[in-house]
Structure 1
């Protein structure tokens, strides 16, 4: 019986990748002193995000500092000076990046129908978001689209003291469930599905047809992987265990 369903957030509930490309696209297009073409600058920003987000998740810097590190590497390519004052870096991020990023957030159209259907299941599972993102920013995304009410918990490294994949076991303890009775749904085949399975959960791969990291085609999964193309297909996989 499935007791708890964990959902990844970025790439699963909210289209984070497209929002980043839209927000940074406006910045690089309007940079008269840029040292590289706009498409190269956008790719660099995405690469820097992955690198410095990894440092934050490893506990080597704060969430604010991971933004500063990214910006210190990026501003010279943009043809802009790098302020020594961390506060000026924070202001740049807040005003020129975070504001347009938040305006570019989009919720996937299959999310709310899926959550509504799960609510209607007899003895339906508890729902939680399990994300490696910053808790304030991630809750803001969910609140923007009226999704917070569906979840019993929003779990991040701040609450759990660890990021995925270590966080799977901790998240199950937080929710008071056995990993064997938990499902994790996400768009990342390795970190959302295979890593969840190693921790004893059932991983379900939401294949949205794009690799979140590279932007290329989805990876190839073996036949043993539970795969769905739309979140609205999820209740069908759960309802037999809830009867």
Structure 2
């Protein structure tokens, strides 16, 4: 394949958002969920990341704002783990603890900086397409040690996010590359990689060890119309997706190197 441009996802692709969520939810557990022992904190993280209520997906489709989706997820988290209810009145303090801890915990994955530098050194255009707000992701990348990486499309750009094909096509347009010569790299197999593939880009699933969503993960159906195992590398490869385990594998997977 010939690749002229690479678009990256941010959360859990370039930035260790799972790790930041773990620290934020540990703080929440200690303050608001005393009935949940510390050893169950991974369950809290899995619940948050799988979004069983579908609230983040409703945010990315333009149905609700960012703070509302977070409040509803907090309410469901407390309900699921048998804690005192989160109300609209108590949410402000809850969110100050959660979001404050989350922001302070942003850090790039160890392979992120080198991956971006290698793309640039190879003469390939690089940018970001994300399902969060553009200004938030620009600030996150800067604080995580990845400044200057252009955030081309956020959920606020078109009013909706991935897996809508128009999001990937807009990213390629703004990058100045043809979709067929553009790769999209993300940690979600369906919302990122498969959706990009179906939009005409090269979809790359970054299947990081220990970073898959829990068993409640859902996404768009596979091309045969079924759901199956949405995190099965063999199934995704059969559907036309490139699968890598680390960003260091990207040059070999896409066939580029320094020019």
TM-score, scaled relative to structure 2:
0.77
Which residue, out of 204, 226, 248, partners 1:232? 248
Matched, 1:158 2:156: yes
Matched, 1:90 2:92: yes
What does residue 176 of structure 2 align with? Answer: 176
Partner SS, residue 136 of structure 1? helix
Q: Give the unaligned 5+ runs of structure 1.
A: none
Query: Which whole-Å CA distance do the structure 1 matches of 2:249 and 2:65 have between them?
Result: 37
Which residue, out of 202, 209, 220, partners 2:233? 220
How far the C-alpha of 1:49 sits from its partner, in A, is 7.2
**Worse overlay, 55-64 or 43-52:** 43-52
Residues 174 and 91 of structure 1: is their aligned pair in 2 closer, same or farther, counting only changes over 3 Å? Answer: farther
Partner SS, residue 227 of structure 1? strand
Contact 1:8 1:184 in 2 (8 A): yes
Contact 1:33 1:80 in 2 (8 A): no
What does residue 147 of structure 1 align with? Answer: 146
Which residue, out of 36, 56, 61, partners 2:59? 56
Contact 1:211 1:219 in 2 (8 A): no
**Worse overlay, 160-169 or 25-34:** 25-34
How far the C-alpha of 1:103 sits from its partner, in A, is 2.4
Contact 2:59 2:66 in 1 (8 A): yes
What does residue 72 of structure 1 align with? Answer: 75
How far the C-alpha of 1:10 sits from its partner, in A, is 1.2
- 1 or 2, which has the higher helix percentage? 1
Query: Which whole-Å CA distance do the structure 1 matches of 2:134 and 2:16 have between them?
Result: 17
Q: Give the unaligned 5+ runs of structure 2.
A: 218-228
Contact 1:31 1:78 in 2 (8 A): no
Query: Which whole-Å CA distance do the structure 1 matches of 2:32 and 2:75 have between them?
Result: 16
The Cα RMSD (Å) is: 3.0
Contact 2:16 2:108 in 1 (8 A): yes
How far the C-alpha of 1:102 sits from its partner, in A, is 1.9
Contact 1:53 1:66 in 2 (8 A): yes
Query: Which whole-Å CA distance do the structure 2 matches of 1:173 and 1:115 have between them?
Result: 20
Residues 45 and 165 of structure 1: is their aligned pair in 2 closer, same or farther, counting only changes over 3 Å? Answer: closer
**Worse overlay, 219-228 or 96-105:** 219-228
